[in-house]
Structure formats: C-alpha cells, structure tokens
C-alpha cells in the first residue's frame, strides 16, 4: 500500500469521504487521491516521494507558483507580529485601497475569508439593495456552496430552479433562475416574466467551473443591458478570473462594468481570503453603515492580507501575464496537434494562463456541451499524465492553470508525456 493509500484509508475513517472538499476525492476520475507534502514553484511532492508538475495551482490561488519566496517571507513577517487581532490593521486598509485602485469599478470593498463568503455577501447585498429576492445564475456556474447558488437545472428556467444539493430549501431554490451560459434570449424571457423581482444576475465572466467556457461576443454586454432595464444588479463572480488574466478584474479588462465584483483565490496568495466590492451606494448598505448584515472573526486576517498584498505587488510589478498566455497557448496548440495526429477527439481551449482539454470536437459554449465530452477519456488522460508526473484538475469540469513559475521546460515535458498518453489512448479506444 502506498503512503497516499494509507493516508486515504485513515482519512476516510474520520473525514467524510476522506476529504475536506469533495473534488479532491477523485470521484470523477476514479483511483486513489493524492496526498501532498510540499510544493515549490511549478512542482509539488507527494507523500510517496513523487514529484509532479502542477497544473492545478490549488485551484487558482497560486499564480506565482508554490511557496514563492517573497510571499512566504511576507507571511512569516506578518505571523511574527500576530496572526489575528479581531481589530483593524493598517495592512487591510492598504489592501482595500490597492483592490479599488486595480479594479476601478470597485469604489469600496469588504474583505472576507473565502470565495463562498464573498458571493454569499454579494447576493445578500443585492437583495438588500433592491428589496427583491430572485436571482439569475447560469448552468455550470459555481459560486461557492451557499444555498441560493446550489441550484443548477436548466429545466427550471422559467419556474425557478431545482436544488442540486440535499439540504437546500426548495423555497430558496425557487428564487434562483438557471438559464444556460451564453443564452441571452433566455435571460430576456426571464426578465420579461420576472424583471420586477430580479435582485441580481450573477455570472463568471469567463466560466471556469465547467471547464473553460468563454462568453460569446456581446453576451456580457447583453447581461449589463438586462440588468439596467430591470434594475437588477450585475454581479461578476471573479473568484477565479480576478487577477488571473491581467492585474485587474476580467470585467475591467473587457470593459463591462458590473455593480458588484467578487474576488478570492489569487488575492490571498494561497491564504484564505475573499472580497466583495463595487458601487459605493450598494456597498454602503453593509453593516455598520446599512441594514445588510455581514461579519467575520477572521475577516481581513493580517497573514492572509500580507500574502495577498505581496502577490498583487509582484503581479503588478512584473506583469507575468503575456508569458503565462504564451506558455498556455503553446500547451493548448501542442495538445490539439497531438490529438489530431492520433485521431483522439480533443479540443484544448485556452485563454491567458487558463486551459481545459475537453475530450470532444469543438469548443463548448454551455454546460450541456461539456456533458457531451468523453468523461472516461478525460479520466484516462488524467491518470496517464499523473503516472508520468503531471497533476491536472481531477475532473473534466474544471480549469487548469499555467503559473508564473512554469516555463518552456514544463510545457515541453507536458507535451512529451501527452504524446505518449494520447498515443496509448488512441490504441485502446
Ligand atoms: N466562485 C467561483 C467562481 C469559484 O470558482 C469558487 C471556488 O472555486 C467560489 C466562488 C468559492 O470559493 P471558495 O472555494 O474560496 O469558497
């Protein structure tokens, strides 16, 4: 038995499913989950001593790679001065100022401790500001695990959603409409029927939770118009995309201004953090200024803020984005070429440093397209790559990342291994 298998067996006795977040259990790719003991740069080391080149990056936060010296230095320096006070600190003011400067549509911002919390706050804020209840989210959009957002079924389009988790009250689900990503027509129909009740339209401006799915040209602009016409707030959930594709939000980069933006992951440099920010008159509804309650013992935690500030400063000073995009483009086009040579139906979609190898022909535009992918082929690819020393997200419905710590060496190695894996796959299929 490997060390990871032993750890997994121990874990399953005391942690539900052996994991503290479900996708780590490898449910969709099968096999034994990996245990990691350390990471540096683009590489992680498993409990069995295997070195892996990491294309998951802790699901997004580690844009600078693992244990970046400056970030670790900032964390240690902050921790030495005290890990938490529950009292205001100068660093959180600096962080709020920096976020508002880098994302000018955020006139005010509040720090929280996770992406889930940031989105939960944004929804409550939208409801409190508009005095309305209903929200629109899109199939395949993941916005953390708060009740109102654990609703997925497209069939609930005009009558309210169907919960996708036990424990979510049907009443909560009924307030959530779930059109397909890129289906502006459906959003118009919802607006016609329920426009006066709509508190918010929430969307990932580039979807990352059904693999990488880009909005069609004009789609985000169309949502902005519907929000303006109905009085609903437009919320861009940028927990993944914030600071991923440029040293700002995706909304800012593409010139579509949401009322609220939610952030997480990268802005904490690998420590737990989240943020919600936007129009001043909306943000001023938050307690203690306004009637919408939100609070947190560890909100604005000094260690997390130090890691985030260090990360954001490196991103703005060094602008690693064009290089990450070049490397990810090399990876994606290389993978597509190999797949074509071997006759494997695969389309690797890439944007900046984000990519997803979809086991299907053509780029998905919505969740149903992704569901048509050959999920078993993804699982075989995942395990083939893992055995050769590469860690990809353990699900077809996730996005992979090239970090600033990756270089041509890591891309060459990935493509050489993929040639091997897809060659074997083509023979067995
Ligand atoms: N929003 C999006 C777009 C996400 O991808 C995630 C997590 O992956 C969340 C919200 C929830 O963030 P967290 O896992 O930090 O609670």
The yes-or-no verdict on residue 153 having pLDDT over 50 is no
Lowest mean pLDDT among 23-27, 38-42, 420-424: 23-27
Distance between CA atoms of 68 and 301, rounded to whole angstroms?
A: 20
Cα angle vertex 416, ends 415, 417, to 5°? 90
- Across the range 308-312, mean pLDDT stands at 98
Helix, strand or coil for residue 268? helix
Q: Which helix (H) or strand (E) holds 359?
A: none
For residues 149, 109, 222 and 120, what is the CA-based torsion angle, rounded to 10 degrees? 10
- Across the range 372-384, mean pLDDT stands at 96
Lowest mean pLDDT among 45-59, 82-96, 135-149, 353-367: 135-149
List the end-to-end C-alpha distance of the chain, in Å, as a whole number.
30
Helix, strand or coil for residue 199? strand
Distance between CA atoms of 392 and 400, rounded to whole angstroms?
A: 6
pLDDT of the residue at 164: 66
Ligand 1 nearest atom to the CA of residue 116, by list position: 16
- The average confidence (pLDDT) of the chain is 95
Tens digits of residue pLDDT in 178-228: 999 999 999 999 999 999 999 999 999 999 999 999 999 999 999 999 999
Residue 237 is among the residues annotated as catalytic for this protein: yes
**Number of helices followed by number of strands (H, E) in the chain:** 14, 14
- Across the range 339-352, mean pLDDT stands at 97
Out of 240, 261, 298, 301, mutate this one to test ligand 1's pocket (max ligand atoms within 8 Å of CB): namely 240
Residue nearest to atom 14 of ligand 1 (CA): 115
Closest CA to 5 of 29, 35, 28: 35
Q: Is residue 150 a contact partner of residue 164, using CB atoms and an 8 Å limit?
A: yes
Measured in residues, the chain has a length of 429
For residue 120, the CA-to-ligand 1 centroid distance in Å is: 11
pLDDT of the residue at 157: 40
Lining residues, ligand 1, CB within 6 Å: 59, 114-116, 119, 142-144, 204, 208-209, 237, 239-240, 264
Distance between CA atoms of 77 and 178, rounded to whole angstroms?
A: 45
Cis amide leading into 288 (omega within 30): yes
Helix, strand or coil for residue 110? strand
Out of 143, 202, 249, 401, mutate this one to test ligand 1's pocket (max ligand atoms within 8 Å of CB): namely 143
Residue nearest to atom 7 of ligand 1 (CA): 144
Distance between CA atoms of 124 and 286, rounded to whole angstroms?
A: 9
Helix, strand or coil for residue 223? helix
CB atoms within 10 A of CB 257: 16
Distance between CA atoms of 70 and 66, rounded to whole angstroms?
A: 11
For residues 155, 161, 166 and 169, what is the CA-based torsion angle, rounded to 10 degrees? -150
Distance between CA atoms of 295 and 338, rounded to whole angstroms?
A: 51
Ligand 1 nearest atom to the CA of residue 141, by list position: 3
The structure's pTM equals 0.96
Catalytic residue among 142, 181, 378, 391: 142
The yes-or-no verdict on residue 158 having pLDDT over 60 is no
Residue 142 is among the residues annotated as catalytic for this protein: yes
Distance between CA atoms of 155 and 254, rounded to whole angstroms?
A: 31
Q: Can you list the pairs that 71-78 forms with residues at least 24 positions away whose Cβ atoms lie under 8 Å?
A: 71/269, 71/270, 71/307, 71/310, 71/311, 71/314, 73/310, 74/269, 74/306, 74/307, 74/309, 74/310, 75/269, 75/271, 75/303, 75/306, 75/307, 75/310, 77/306, 78/302, 78/303, 78/305, 78/306, 78/307
Q: Which helix (H) or strand (E) holds 275?
A: strand 274-278
- Across the range 61-87, mean pLDDT stands at 98
Residue 265 is among the residues annotated as catalytic for this protein: yes
Residue nearest to atom 1 of ligand 1 (CA): 143
Q: Which residues contact 62 (CB under 8 A, 6 or more apart)?
A: 39, 54, 270, 403
Catalytic residue among 137, 181, 259, 265: 265
Beta-ladder partners of 262: 237, 276
């Amino acid at each position: 038995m490997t060390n990871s298998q032993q750890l997994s067996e121990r874990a399953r006795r005391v942690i539900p499913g052996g994991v503290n977040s479900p996708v780590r259990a490898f449910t969709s790719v099968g096999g034994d989950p990996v245990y990691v003991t350390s990471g540096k740069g683009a590489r992680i080391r498993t409990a069995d001593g295997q070195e892996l080149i990491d294309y998951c990056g802790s699901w997004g936060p580690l844009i600078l790679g693992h244990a970046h010296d400056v970030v670790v230095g900032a964390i240690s320096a902050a921790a030495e001065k005290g890990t938490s006070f529950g009292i205001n600190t100068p660093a959180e003011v600096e962080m709020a100022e920096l976020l508002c400067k880098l994302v000018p549509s955020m006139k005010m911002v509040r720090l929280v401790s996770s992406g889930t919390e940031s989105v939960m706050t944004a929804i409550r804020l939208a409801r409190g500001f508009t005095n309305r209840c209903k929200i629109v989210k899109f199939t395949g959009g993941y916005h953390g695990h708060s009740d109102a957002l654990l609703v997925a079924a497209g069939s609930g389009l005009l009558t309210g959603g169907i919960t996708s988790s036990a424990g979510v009250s049907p009443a909560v689900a009924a307030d959530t409409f779930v059109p397909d990503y890129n289906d502006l027509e459906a959003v118009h129909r919802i607006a016609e029927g329920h426009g006066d009740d709509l508190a918010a339209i929430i969307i990932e401006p580039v979807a990352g939770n059904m693999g990488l799915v880009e909005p069609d040209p004009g789609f985000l602009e169309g949502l902005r118009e519907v929000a303006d016409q109905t009085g609903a707030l437009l919320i861009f959930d940028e927990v993944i995309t914030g600071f991923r594709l440029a040293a700002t939000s995706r909304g800012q980069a593409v010139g579509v201004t949401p009322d609220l933006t939610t952030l997480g992951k990268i802005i904490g440099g690998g420590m737990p953090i989240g943020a919600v920010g936007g129009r001043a008159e909306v943000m001023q509804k938050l307690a203690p200024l306004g009637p919408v309650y939100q609070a947190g013992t560890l909100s604005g935690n000094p260690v997390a803020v130090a890691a985030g500030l260090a990360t954001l400063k490196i991103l703005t000073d060094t602008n690693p984005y064009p290089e990450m995009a070049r490397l990810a483009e090399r990876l994606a086009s290389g993978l597509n070429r190999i797949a074509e040579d071997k006759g494997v139906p695969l389309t690797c979609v890439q944007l900046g440093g984000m990519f997803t190898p979809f086991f299907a022909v053509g780029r998905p535009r919505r969740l149903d397209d992704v569901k048509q992918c050959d999920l078993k082929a993804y699982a075989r690819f995942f395990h083939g790559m893992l055995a050769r020393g590469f860690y990809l997200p353990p699900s077809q419905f996730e996005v992979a990342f090239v970090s600033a710590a990756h270089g041509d060496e890591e891309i060459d190695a990935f493509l050489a291994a993929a040639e091997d894996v897809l060659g074997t796959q083509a023979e067995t299929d």
